[in-house]
């Protein structure tokens, strides 16, 4: 993002969507870009205001869950930027699923009844609720695709101790329950999501974003049961519609496949869907706050000098 380093910056990392800057060994600056990824591939065109939407939903949700577990966030100096504590991350994502959708449904419809070591009940149809939410972790790949993994293998491979896993599981399920409560007040169902955690000393912290359209799936609650009975497609707010469009155009991130052309109209549609989700989840109008790279840089520098 910045041609010049931030004060006391020692390293930087550019992910699929976020740019992360390490300030000494204690702080992180995280920029939520307008890049969009699907099937672990960065798509060729940015989505206007996507970074602001992600950053502001995440900040809202982190503030709403501080009673459940500590989190990394300290301040949000610019619309698409956050500064927080640097944690040593667990190299796993805690994926929590309340309904049979997405990857879980693709596994189930292909005949699979075990996902990440979790037994899936017989007789379910797409979008059905699980009897209780399930955790289906994945490894956090620095490059390429994340991989499914079971709790047993996480502990066996030393990705988390049994004691830490117990805390991660407790936090993830409690955060999901809170996310569902917040969504329900806005007429939405939080369907599934993922959480990332890290440690500072012996304390486990919630990291990164939570309950955003990039990390979560939402259904509209109104008419959900009727659509299930009629086996109709559920109305949803998430990034899944982008994945579905890619699949329809023969792209799933596999070798030799080409990302289909993204027209101006399609880019505008995606941007409006992200803004719609912001307004539904937050319950307030979205206020676009376009900032130049230079403006963002100076706002972050000012915030860092105060910390």
Query: Class assignment of domain 89-238?
Result: alpha beta
Can you give the pLDDT at residue 2? 55
CB atoms within 10 A of CB 295: 13
Q: Inform me whether the pLDDT recorded for 133 exceeds 60.
A: yes
Q: What is the pLDDT of residues 269-280, one digit of tens each?
A: 999 999 988 999
Q: From CA 175, how far away is CA 190, in angstroms rounded?
A: 11
CA nearest neighbour of 290 among 35, 48, 57:
48
Mean pLDDT calculated for residue range 250-274: 94
Tokens, residue 2: 């910045």
CB 69 within 8 A of CB 176: no
- pTM for this prediction: 0.90
3-state helix, strand, coil in the chain (%, to 5): 35, 25, 40
The pLDDT > 70 percentage for the chain reads 97
Kindly provide the b/e burial profile for residues 271-282, where b requires at least 16 CB atoms within 10 angstroms of the residue's own CB.
Answer: bebbbebbeebb
Q: What is the pLDDT of residues 231-246, one digit of tens each?
A: 999 998 878 889 889 9
Q: Judging by beta carbons within 10 Å of its beta carbon (0-12, 13-18, 19+), is residue 71 exposed, middle or buried?
A: buried
Q: Inform me whether the pLDDT recorded for 82 exceeds 90.
A: yes
The CATH superfamily label for domain 9-87+241-306 reads: Phosphorylase Kinase; domain 1 (3.30.200.20)
Same fold, 9-87+241-306 and 89-238: no
Domain-by-domain residue ranges, the chain?
A: 9-87+241-306, 89-238
């Amino acid at each position: 993002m910045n041609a010049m380093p931030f004060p006391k910056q020692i390293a930087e990392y550019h992910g699929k969507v976020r740019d992360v800057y390490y300030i000494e060994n204690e702080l992180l600056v995280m920029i939520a870009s307008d890049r969009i990824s699907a099937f672990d591939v960065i798509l060729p065109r940015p989505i206007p205001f996507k970074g602001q939407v992600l950053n502001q939903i995440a900040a809202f949700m982190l503030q709403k869950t501080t009673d459940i577990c500590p989190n990394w966030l300290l301040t949000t100096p610019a619309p698409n930027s956050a500064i927080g504590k640097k944690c040593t991350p667990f190299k796993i994502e805690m994926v929590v699923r309340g309904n049979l959708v997405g990857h879980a449904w693709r596994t189930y419809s292909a005949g699979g009844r075990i996902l990440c070591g979790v037994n899936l009940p017989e007789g379910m149809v797409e979008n059905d609720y699980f009897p209780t939410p399930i955790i289906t972790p994945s490894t956090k790949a620095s490059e390429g695709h994340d991989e499914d993994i079971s709790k047993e293998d996480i502990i066996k491979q030393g990705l988390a101790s049994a004691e830490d896993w117990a805390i991660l599981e407790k936090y993830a399920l409690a955060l999901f329950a809170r996310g569902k409560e917040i969504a329900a007040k806005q007429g939405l169902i939080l369907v599934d999501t993922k959480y990332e955690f890290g440690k500072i000393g012996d304390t486990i912290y919630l990291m990164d974003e939570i309950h955003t359209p990039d990390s979560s799936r939402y259904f509209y609650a109104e008419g959900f049961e009727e659509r299930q009975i009629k086996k109709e497609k559920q109305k949803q707010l998430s990034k899944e519609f982008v994945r579905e469009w890619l699949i329809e155009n023969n792209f799933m991130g596999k070798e030799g496949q080409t990302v289909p052309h993204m027209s101006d109209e399609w880019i505008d549609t995606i941007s409006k869907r992200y803004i719609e989700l912001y307004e539904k989840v937050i319950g307030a109008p979205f206020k676009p706050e376009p900032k130049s790279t230079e403006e963002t840089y100076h706002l972050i520098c000012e915030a860092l000098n105060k910390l």
